[in-house]
Structure 1
Amino acid sequence: MSRLDSMLRRLAAQRDGLNWAAEQIGPLPGDVVDLGLGNGRTYDHLREILPDRRIWVIDRVLQCHPSCTPPEADFLQGEAEPMLNKLADSGHKIALAHYDFGFGIKEKDVAEAARLSPLIARIMAPGGLIVSGQPLVGFDQLQGPETIAPDRYMFYRA
């Protein structure tokens, strides 16, 4: 599979997974968090599908497209661990999290996701969902939408 086809498959899986998760959380109280802003495409999609939810964003740097810049009060800039702790200490609970942190090195990405999993658990509302491009630990894994190939994207319930 070409890198272009792989990217298209990943983006379609991400969109389908987020749409599915947004439907699943229904009336569950809580905010949303996008863990890894990048260009801002996912954040922009979350704003569209969940317009009534506060969407927190955590990333090291703010370098997204100008139309996808989160409000300053909702952008937690810095390393993941202290920013997750800051969000947890604030008392806000998360109904839907999207995990998209990565270094681009599979082994390092998997280790980081496992290391951050307990911190993510601290911010999640009971029954909240996590959509992740990396395997997480300590959560109940769910079967996501049928349109997504196994292990392309992972789905968890807190």
Structure 2
Amino acid sequence: MSRLESMRRRLSAQIDGLNWASDYIADIHGDVLELGLGNGRTYDHLRQQLPDRRIWVIDRVLQPHPSCVPPTENFLLGEADDMLKQLARRGAKMALAHYDFGFGVKELDVAEGARLSPLIAPLMMPGGLVVSQQPLTGFTQICGPETIDPERYLFYRAQ
């Protein structure tokens, strides 16, 4: 599979997964957390799908497309560890978290997901959903939509 085909598969999985997740959390109170803003495509999709939810965003840099800049009060600039701890101190609770961090090196990505998982877990509402391209720990993995290869995108229910 070419890198271009792999990218198409990833983007299709993100769209299908986030749409499914938006429906899944319909009856769960709480905010949404976007871990990794990048150019803002998934953030933009989340605010379209969940217009009545507060969407928190964490990233090291702020350089999205100009139409995808989150409100200042919802954007936490810095290292994920510190920003997740800051959200916990604020008492923020998430119905949905989308984990979109990655270095592009499988071993580093898996290690970072494992390291950050214990900081994400306390932010989640019971029954809330974490959607991730990387494996995470401390959550119950569930099956997502049938359109997504279970190894392409992962779905976790919070305890």
Partner of 1:48: 48
CA-CA distance at 1:23 after TM superposition: 0.2
CA-CA distance at 1:150 after TM superposition: 1.8
Give the whole-Å Cα distance in 2 for the aligned partners of 1:88 and 1:120: 9
Identity, in percent, stands at 72
1:136 aligns with 2:136: yes
Secondary structure of the residue aligned to 2:4 is: helix
CA-CA distance at 1:92 after TM superposition: 1.2
Give the whole-Å Cα distance in 1 for the aligned partners of 2:76 and 2:123: 14
Superposed CA deviations along residues 19-73 of structure 1, whole A, max 9, x for unmatched, are 0011011121000000000000000000000000000000000010000000000
Partner of 2:85: 85
Give the whole-Å Cα distance in 1 for the aligned partners of 2:146 and 2:27: 23
Secondary structure of the residue aligned to 1:95 is: strand
Give the whole-Å Cα distance in 2 for the aligned partners of 1:111 and 1:33: 20
Partner of 1:60: 60
Give the whole-Å Cα distance in 1 for the aligned partners of 2:83 and 2:70: 15
Partner of 1:29: 29
Secondary structure of the residue aligned to 1:112 is: helix
Give the whole-Å Cα distance in 2 for the aligned partners of 1:50 and 1:15: 13
Give the whole-Å Cα distance in 2 for the aligned partners of 1:146 and 1:106: 24
Give the whole-Å Cα distance in 2 for the aligned partners of 1:103 and 1:150: 21
Give me the TM-score of the superposition, normalised by structure 1: 0.99
Give the whole-Å Cα distance in 2 for the aligned partners of 1:119 and 1:147: 30
Question: How many residues are treated as equivalent by the alignment?
Answer: 158
CA-CA distance at 1:136 after TM superposition: 0.3
The two structures, once aligned, show a CA RMSD in angstroms of 0.5
Amino acid at match of 1:74: N
CA-CA distance at 1:104 after TM superposition: 1.3
Secondary structure of the residue aligned to 2:83 is: helix
- Give the 4+ runs in structure 1 shifted more than 6 A: none
